[in-house]
Amino acid sequence: MNSLKIRKNIYKLIILVFLVLILFGAFNISETEPYQLDSRESLESWVYFYHNLQCEYSFFEVLNSYNLNYDISIRNEPSGSIECAGKNFWIDYRREQKIEDGWEKYSPIKLVVRVATNTHVDLIVQSIIWLTFLSLIPKNRHSFTKLNKVSILLGVLLVYLHLIGERSYYSTIGRDYFPWPFYRDFDNSIIFDNYYLYSFILILIYLFYFIDKLLETRITNLINYFPFMFFIYGSFASLNINFFILVFSFIGILGLFNNKVSIKLSITYLLFFIVWFLNSENLDKNFDVDKIKGFANTSQTNISLLFWAIVFYLLLIGVKYIVDLSKDSLDLNLLSNNFLIASSLIVITGLIGAINLPINFLSFYILGHNKSGMNTMQSVDGNAWRGLYPSAESIGEFFAFAILFCLVTYLINQFKFKIYHFFLLLINFYGLYRANNAAAIISLMLLILVILIYKNVQSKKTRNLIYFLLIILLIVGYLFLIANNSFQLLSGSVMFEAVKASSISYDFQLNEYNESAIEQANYALLLSLPADNTNFSSSLKYLLNSYTFGNKIDNVPSAISLVSSVSYYVNRSEKWGIFIAKYNPNLSEFLFGYGPNQLTEYYLGHETKYQEGLVLPHSSLITYFIFFGTIGLLVVLFLIFVYVVKNKNDFYGNILLLFFIINFLKSDSALYVPNFLIFLILINLLRIKNIFVKEA
């Protein structure tokens, strides 16, 4: 019986791969012969050939006609038409450019093949792919949900809100985009021919129908397979939507119908939403969310704010609901096994994609990642290698957490390591090494040390003494690092970067070393300049005043100095400085934030030198401070503290939670769907007693 199920799953995957290849035009033969490139002189002719014959060739045909040793990569172009999906859209060609360094050096030629993707095609094809993967999860013994037409309708209406709210984004990629079901003609007659919208809604109805049918028999097993979300990321190529956000939002709707709602949470969240809505300016700006696509707002509109506020609320309910349903089905051994398999698949697929461009692009499309995988084995700037994941830092955390989780499972549940598990662990360690996330590696090592002390030292007093000495050792080590550098330099590094990032138009007098007041860190002078010349954010003004004129105690560093000195050693001085330069809230926004997943007003509302490109704060703590303000962040931290206190005897569960808390301080991983959901799931698992308590 089990072998029959395995064969059926294999057949599904084989059919699915061939379906994707066919839909992408991989086997289509063009009526025109591809341009045969055989010399550098014909390179420009090759580029112009495919420009003139747009949408004629599959990307396989374009790549097969290219045989020169120049840097080439594949990217999707979401504004493609339906008939152009999977075909050549454009080729970006960057010629050699002289590097202004005093030497006769030139930047290399770069080519980017743009493959057309389309909102409707992506919604159909990628949904089929991920629904098929979802169908591979074993069924429950009993059904826990039943088809609810109202739930499906609410899911469709929720996505329709998104389509209206982020119209600035969709109007740039859809030639037929129009968010309303009808419009008035020149003679004032009502026309119902918006087939773009009708077909989109019809696809969504089928999508939520199949999500419901699959969840009906699999919902309690879903939690045992959630590590695969890191492999199958689920972001639609042409839409700012993530498949798993839709799935968990739909589960949240089911939770609402089953009365799995906290009244306190709902009332508090409603009050926050009222403040967000009153503060929101309906500017309809278009913000390039880049690698956090599918979990961040692209357009600053009231309707988009409503959509993301509802989605975030449903995610909280949905994760709680599914954990409550799954508490008896949770299998830590199976979960550990899936962590190792998922992490190994990420590494292997990333390595294959780095040496094979077509597989690189197909991995991006089939698995739904926000960015195409790296097309080289070389690390970025000699540092981190992210493989197919959009962020090296975030995937590094996943690799480290997978190792830690397997260790915890081994200690509390006698997880039996087989030969293939050790092989998968080696792959996982390699992925962690290539991701080069120092914080994840160090926190993993420290937490393993804490676990070893806990396991091998029976006396509680002795353990606490060792932990205390370990903390003292870390503090002494940090002070030793500071001693090797000027504390004045370290304590002001964030302020210095914040001033550098600000738009300053004042004509400074230079000293004998050709330095202005900025290079000299003369903040007293900068604060005295007219506001029109400095354009400092409200947060930068406040912190500069506090840093320069605040009451100071001799030989005791201020909080700003401590944070700044720490930022230097975790390589966050520039990123946190840019955050301070950009963060320009009023009092209400400072207290309650801009709203969940709302980065547009923060990022574009106050002009700095960093208006182009996505420069994140690289701290989930800061990011959620932007979203929920001081009060919201304090509430979240308080709830986490309550969870820890209530589960103070759950040593291993708190160790897993501590790993995330440490890493979220200096990474933006909570902006990535899988990292955020795994944290939510862990928090809810801690509510269930004895999940991570060692068996007798």
Instruction: Specify the amino acid at residue 173.
Output: I
Distance CA 93, CA 114 (A): 11
* In the predicted structure, residue 228 carries a pLDDT above the cut 70: yes
pLDDT confidence band for 689 (50 / 70 / 90): low
Taking residues 297-303, report their average pLDDT: 89
If one counts every other C-beta atom within 10 angstroms of the C-beta of residue 646, the result is 12
Q: Each residue of 493-502: pLDDT tens digit? A: 888 888 888 8
Q: CA 442, 448, 449: angle at the middle one, nearest 5? A: 90
Taking residues 386-394, report their average pLDDT: 86
Taking residues 207-233, report their average pLDDT: 91
User: Do strands 110-116 and 88-94 pair parallel, antiparallel, or not at all (unpaired)?
Assistant: antiparallel
Q: What is the pLDDT of residue 428?
A: 93
Q: What is the pLDDT of residue 16?
A: 64
Q: Each residue of 111-126: pLDDT tens digit? A: 888 999 999 999 999 9
Q: What is the pLDDT of residue 338?
A: 94
Q: What are the helix and strand counts (H, E) for the chain? A: 28, 7
Q: What is the pLDDT of residue 692?
A: 72
Instruction: Kindly state the tokens that stand for 346.
Output: 């990420």
Q: Each residue of 271-280: pLDDT tens digit? A: 999 999 998 8
pLDDT-wise least confident of 476-490, 498-512, 543-557: 476-490
Distance CA 306, CA 596 (A): 10
pLDDT confidence band for 696 (50 / 70 / 90): very low
* In the predicted structure, residue 11 carries a pLDDT above the cut 80: no
* In the predicted structure, residue 5 carries a pLDDT above the cut 60: no
DSSP string, 140-209: PSS------HHHHHHHHHHHHHHHHHTHHHHHHH-TT---SS-EE-TTS-EE---HHHHHHHHHHHHHHH
Report which listed range, 526-540, 546-560, 599-613, 653-667, is most confident. 653-667
Q: What is the pLDDT of residue 623?
A: 93
* In the predicted structure, residue 533 carries a pLDDT above the cut 90: no
Q: What is the pLDDT of residue 100?
A: 57
pLDDT-wise least confident of 14-23, 126-135, 407-416, 675-684: 14-23
pLDDT confidence band for 317 (50 / 70 / 90): very high
Q: What is the pLDDT of residue 1?
A: 44
Instruction: Kindly state the tokens that stand for 205.
Output: 């109805």
Contact present, 230 and 343 (Cβ < 8 Å): yes
Nearest to 222 by CA among 338, 396, 368: 338
Taking residues 73-78, report their average pLDDT: 88
Q: Please say whether the dihedral angle defined by the alpha carbons of residues 501, 505, 511 and 514, taken in this order, is positive or negative.
A: positive
Report which listed range, 80-94, 243-257, 540-554, 630-644, is most confident. 243-257
* In the predicted structure, residue 86 carries a pLDDT above the cut 60: yes
Q: Each residue of 134-175: pLDDT tens digit? A: 988 888 766 566 667 888 999 999 999 999 999 889 988 877
* In the predicted structure, residue 30 carries a pLDDT above the cut 80: no
pLDDT confidence band for 460 (50 / 70 / 90): confident
Taking residues 597-623, report their average pLDDT: 86
What pairs with residue 548 in β-bridges? none
The structural domains of the chain, with segments of one domain joined by +, span 2-116, 120-326, 487-571
* In the predicted structure, residue 521 carries a pLDDT above the cut 60: yes
